[in-house]
Copies of this chain bind each other. A is one copy, B any other.
Amino acid sequence: MEYQKIRPQDINYLISVTSEDRVYYGDQINEDYSHDEMQEYGRFMPEVVVEVMTTEEVSKIMKYAYENNIPVTPRGSGTGLCGGAVAIHGGIMISTLKMNKILEIDEENLMAKVQAGVLLMDFNKAVTEKNLFYPPDPGEKSATIGGNVMTNAGGMRAVKYGVTRDYVRGMTIVLPNGEVIETGGKVIKNSSGYSIKDIMIGSEGTLGIVTEIIVRLLPLPKKAVSLLVPFPSLDKCIETVPFILRSRSIPTAVEFMQREVIEAAEEHLGREFPDKSADAYLLLSFDGNSKEEIEEIYDEVAQLCLERGAIDVLISNTQERHESIWSTRGAFLEAIKGSTPEGLDECDVVVPKNKVADFVKFCAQLEKEFGVRIRQFGHAGDGNLHVYACKDNLPDEEWKPKVAAIMERMYEKAIELEGQVSGEHGIGHAKIGFLDESVGDVSMEIMKGIKKAFDPKNILNPGKVVKY
């Protein structure tokens, strides 16, 4: 499809429905807008960036873009990892970053209503102050809630609390033609026709632009404890996880981490990790309403880890120690990126929980086989792994075929283990080929049909998730 290039009258229109200081074009556009956190997937400048503040503004812009056949890319913080919020066909980029109001925290219904551009960290702070809890906990706290919804972000606490999808109750959506709909609401149950809300979740801004979101909250658990469990080897570490999950205690999070990644994070953060004794660690957390309730559970798990070969079990029950461990965990991605400035590629597969060890070991084999440094960490408790192939000093002609082969092999392995292409980062434009291989032509055709039902002119975030 041929799209209309941005003309001076288009800029004027955008200014007329927003304001002059919120429309950027030509040299005014910050280079950051040309990529997300994976510059490796290419740089694409939008022709114009507009910072929206209301649903009405988004509606007017979409209506105009639809009539004029101009592609539109919605974007939150741009912290994605598969080129989802990048204007690969140019056109208008709509930034939601100024739509950052927490509209309501409803303590009676345990719901909150936010604008899409509210940052996860700001939202967490606001609900915690009211002794409430928004469980989804992706590593990237500067992501927007809208972005989290659009990728169905998962995070660390999915083991116990589920993912973003499980907390979204309603949304306001601007459709590609500019029409505005509301779907769901402050309700717990809903069987009122096809769930437009649920097809929007994880649709990466390709079906509509979500401008307001109603999410469910929980009472804030009164107590939380983390356990840091050093193991002599990665194998021993990762093989312990199924035993923990089988014990039927339900941790809030089960993360695994390796020495090398921790060291990179120490360097990145400029501070030390509280333990140096081991090659591999499990990091577990537990929450509940009383010390006794949690203690009973973690005692059992600690015992089990020691029986399976753990070197020690370090209990982190002070805020300081807790911060030190979890901030290290939170810095892994940045630390790995920092360790390979020339580039890297990423894989975010999810496999059944009892297949995590198989996949982790497979990646370690690939590292040897290809002579490419591979770093991984991830959510051992929910089967979602983040694996990074690092370019280091490899010349392009050696790196490109190797990384392509490594990715191909990883996604093949994920399918073999009955896993899925993406646990939480999404598809964007970078992973469409792997999605296609994983779900097959028939499912891809259904997805294209869904895209057409929402966006018959293919103007909203074209070239992402599905191509047609």
List chain A positions with a Cβ less than 8 A from chain B. Answer: 107-111, 131, 151-154, 158-159, 162-163, 165-166, 175, 179-181, 183-196, 198-199, 201-203, 207, 218-219, 242, 245-246, 248, 250, 289-290, 292-293, 296, 348, 350-354, 379, 382-384, 418-427, 435, 438-440, 442-444, 446-447, 449-454, 465-466
| 6 A–B contacts from the bound complex (CB under 8 Å) | A165-B198, A175-B442, A192-B421, A192-B438, A194-B447, A292-B292
Complex alpha-carbon distance, A424 and B451, angstroms: 27
When the two chains form the complex, which single residue of B165, B189, B193, B384 contacts A447, counting CB atoms closer than 8 Å?
Answer: B193
- Chain B residues near A450: list those with CB within 8 A: 194, 199, 450, 453
Closest to A166 in B: B166
Complex alpha-carbon distance, A188 and B166, angstroms: 11
Quote the shortest CB–CB distance from A16 to chain B (angstroms).
25
Complex alpha-carbon distance, A192 and B384, angstroms: 12
Q: Are B188 and A442 in contact (CB under 8 A)?
A: no
Q: Are A201 and B199 in contact (CB under 8 A)?
A: no
- Chain B residues near A181: list those with CB within 8 A: 439-440, 442-443, 446
Complex alpha-carbon distance, A438 and B196, angstroms: 14
Complex alpha-carbon distance, A107 and B246, angstroms: 7
Contacts A352-B185, A384-B189, A453-B446; is A166 near B162 (CB within 8 Å)?
A: yes
Complex alpha-carbon distance, A340 and B465, angstroms: 53
- Chain B residues near A424: list those with CB within 8 A: 189, 191
- Chain B residues near A201: list those with CB within 8 A: 195, 198
Closest to A111 in B: B352
Contacts A188-B353, A419-B185; is A194 near B162 (CB within 8 Å)?
A: no
Quote the shortest CB–CB distance from A240 to chain B (angstroms).
14
- Chain B residues near A382: list those with CB within 8 A: 188-189
Complex alpha-carbon distance, A425 and B131, angstroms: 34
Closest to A455 in B: B449
Q: Nearest 10 CB-CB pairs, A to B?
A: A449-B453, A198-B198, A219-B248, A189-B423, A188-B382, A186-B352, A154-B189, A108-B354, A192-B421, A192-B420
Complex alpha-carbon distance, A162 and B188, angstroms: 7
Closest to A180 in B: B442
Contacts A108-B353, A108-B354; is A465 near B194 (CB within 8 Å)?
A: yes
Given A191-B424, A194-B207, 6 other A-B residues pairs in contact with their CB atoms under 8 A: A188-B382, A189-B384, A192-B420, A192-B439, A289-B293, A290-B293
Q: Are B199 and A198 in contact (CB under 8 A)?
A: yes
Q: Are B109 and A353 in contact (CB under 8 A)?
A: yes
Complex alpha-carbon distance, A203 and B450, angstroms: 14
Closest to A447 in B: B194
- Chain B residues near A207: list those with CB within 8 A: 194
Contacts A201-B198, A245-B108; is A419 near B350 (CB within 8 Å)?
A: no
Q: Are A187 and B454 in contact (CB under 8 A)?
A: no
Complex alpha-carbon distance, A352 and B163, angstroms: 22
Q: Are A202 and B191 in contact (CB under 8 A)?
A: yes
Q: Are B190 and A423 in contact (CB under 8 A)?
A: yes
Complex alpha-carbon distance, A163 and B169, angstroms: 12
Complex alpha-carbon distance, A218 and B201, angstroms: 24
Q: Are B352 and A422 in contact (CB under 8 A)?
A: no
Q: Are A447 and B154 in contact (CB under 8 A)?
A: no
- Chain B residues near A218: list those with CB within 8 A: 250
Quote the shortest CB–CB distance from A371 to chain B (angstroms).
30
- Chain B residues near A442: list those with CB within 8 A: 175, 179-181
Quote the shortest CB–CB distance from A347 to chain B (angstroms).
12
Quote the shortest CB–CB distance from A128 to chain B (angstroms).
14
Complex alpha-carbon distance, A195 and B201, angstroms: 8
Q: Are B352 and A187 in contact (CB under 8 A)?
A: yes
Complex alpha-carbon distance, A154 and B190, angstroms: 8
Q: Are B187 and A350 in contact (CB under 8 A)?
A: yes
Complex alpha-carbon distance, A152 and B131, angstroms: 31
